[in-house]
């Protein structure tokens, strides 16, 4: 029996390769084309929808057990090795700000609060304090998209204030040990006015009421910076204030404070949009005048106010990547 196993065709389009078509069937050239040479170490063949071409990205030649493959640079596919320390067993994959990594509690701090609780202490054990006519309530603005919350209400009393903070006067944090990013999801229920004036602060704060001795925080009142948010850094009661052009409103917003590793600059964001930077008096020394904690505070101006003001807080998270493993 004769077997025809090769196409009798003297020329063919560039890049096509001869392929078997089945036993007893004449071979033929591929529809897709292939590159003639393999340039670019680490590239692989990839279908572009019509032909096979070398990938732009390069890939590693080897992998170890439990490696995670990911983009380590522009058009470079690399790998993340499994952790080698015992205290990283059981830890999750997270994003450290520059690359994926296995969470390392000796080098990273992560706090998350949703206030899905019956008390303002929440899951993290928040310190709360309300002075004068101020009150603190929980789960008062719950909706399908607001799952648990705490609200700080001033009442109408002069200088009445309410605060929720992790630490009160113990002030568990100072900076320059590594990049630290804090976000509060919060909402003002009304804007400050001359008749019912209040001041609110969001971020890292140090005391249960103004003035703060240390912190990096958002500040709002109607009679400062035309009712736009201000950015403050305070160290040992010395404050640097930067004005933003973002007006306060009564919507839910994500208020983020991002302090760089050396604590030489703090960038503040609302809903992911930078509203400015503070570059001096970011607390970074030991001692109570230099230490602070995540917190929010609201307080009435002096004199009885016409109506109560409040700030509701839905959630908080904080991440710090220590520069040196502790």
Partner 1 sequence: MEYNGTLPAYYNFAKEIFLYEDWIQNASTGALGWNNTTASSGTVVMSTNVSPTVVGNVNLLTSTTASGRAGIALGTASMTFGGGRCIITWLCKLSRLSDAGSAYTAYIGYGNNGTAPTAGVYFSYAHGTNGGNWVLNATDASSNTPTNSSTAADTSWHKFTIDINAAATSAEFFIDGVSQGTVASNIPQAAGATHTCSPQCAIVNSGAAHASSSEMWIDAMQMYQLLTSQR
Going by C-alpha positions, the residue among 136, 120, 118, 123 that lies closest to residue 298 is 136
Q: How far is the CB of 208 from partner 1 (least distance, A)?
A: 11
Q: What is the DSSP letter of 74?
A: T
Q: Strand, coil or helix: what is 225?
A: helix
By the rule CB under 8 A, 63 interacts with partner 1: no
* Among 166-174, 197-205, 216-224, 235-243, the segment contacting partner 1 (CB under 8 A): 166-174
* Pairwise CA distance, residues 28 & 19, whole Å: 6
Site for partner 1 in 90-129 (CB under 8 A): 90-93, 102-103, 105-106, 109-111, 123-127
Among 120, 166, 248, 296, binds partner 1 (CB under 8 A): 166
**For partner 1, which is the closer residue by CB, 175 or 198?**
175
Strands (E), 139-252: 150-153, 161-165, 178-188, 198-205, 215-220, 228-235, 238-247
**Residues written for the chain:** 326
* Pairwise CA distance, residues 82 & 12, whole Å: 49
* Pairwise CA distance, residues 118 & 59, whole Å: 51
Q: Are 296 and 261 in contact (CB under 8 A)?
A: no
Q: How many CB atoms lie within 10 A of CB 291?
A: 24
By the rule CB under 8 A, 293 interacts with partner 1: yes
Q: How far is the CB of 233 from partner 1 (least distance, A)?
A: 15
**For partner 1, which is the closer residue by CB, 143 or 324?**
324
* Among 7-15, 134-142, 150-158, 165-173, the segment contacting partner 1 (CB under 8 A): 165-173
By the rule CB under 8 A, 326 interacts with partner 1: yes
Among 28, 189, 240, 288, binds partner 1 (CB under 8 A): 288
- The binding site for partner 1 (CB under 8 A) comprises 65-66, 68, 82-83, 85-93, 102-103, 105-106, 109-111, 123-127, 165-168, 170-178, 263, 284, 286, 288, 291, 293-294, 320, 322, 324, 326
């Amino acid at each position: 029996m004769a077997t025809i196993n090769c196409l009798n065709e003297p020329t063919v389009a560039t890049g096509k390769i001869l392929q078997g078509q089945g036993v007893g069937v004449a071979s033929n050239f591929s529809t897709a084309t292939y590159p003639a040479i393999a340039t670019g170490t680490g590239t692989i063949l990839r279908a572009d929808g019509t032909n096979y071409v070398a990938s732009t990205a390069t890939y590693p030649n080897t992998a170890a057990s439990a490696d995670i493959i990911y983009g380590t640079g522009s058009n470079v596919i690399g790998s993340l090795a499994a952790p080698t320390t015992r205290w990283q067993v059981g830890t999750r994959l997270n994003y450290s700000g520059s690359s994926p990594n296995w969470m390392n509690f000796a080098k990273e701090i992560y706090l998350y609060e949703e206030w899905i609780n019956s008390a303002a202490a929440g899951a993290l054990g928040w310190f709360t304090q309300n002075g004068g006519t101020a009150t603190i309530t929980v789960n008062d603005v719950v909706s399908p998209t607001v799952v648990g919350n705490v609200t700080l209400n001033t009442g109408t009393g002069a200088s009445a204030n309410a605060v929720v903070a992790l630490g009160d006067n113990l002030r568990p944090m100072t900076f320059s040990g590594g990049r630290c990013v804090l976000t509060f999801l919060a909402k003002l229920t009304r804007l400050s006015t001359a008749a019912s004036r209040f001041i609110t602060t969001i971020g890292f704060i140090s005391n249960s009421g103004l003035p703060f001795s240390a912190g990096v925080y958002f500040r709002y009142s109607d009679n400062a910076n035309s009712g736009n948010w201000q950015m403050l850094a305070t160290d040992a009661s010395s404050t640097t204030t930067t004005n933003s052009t973002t007006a306060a409103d009564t919507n839910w917003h994500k208020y983020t404070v991002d302090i760089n590793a050396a604590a030489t600059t703090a960038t503040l964001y609302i809903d992911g949009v930078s509203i400015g930077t503070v570059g001096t008096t970011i607390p970074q020394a030991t001692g109570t005048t230099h230490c602070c904690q995540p917190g929010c505070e609201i307080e009435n101006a002096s004199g009885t106010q016409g109506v109560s003001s409040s700030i509701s807080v839905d959630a908080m998270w904080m991440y710090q990547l220590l520069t040196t493993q502790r």
